[in-house]
Amino acid sequence: MNIEKNKEVIPAKITSKNQITIPKQVRNRLHLDKHDSLNFVIKSNGEITVENDKNFWRIVAEQEKKYGSVSTPEIDWGQDVGSEVID
Residue 1: pLDDT above 70? Answer: no
Residue 31: pLDDT above 70? Answer: yes
48-52 and 38-42 strand pairing: antiparallel
Domains and CATH numbers, the chain: 2-67 (2.10.260.10)
Burial (CB < 10 A; 0-12, 13-18, 19+), residue 78, is: exposed
Residue 19: pLDDT above 80? Answer: yes
Residue 20: pLDDT above 90? Answer: yes
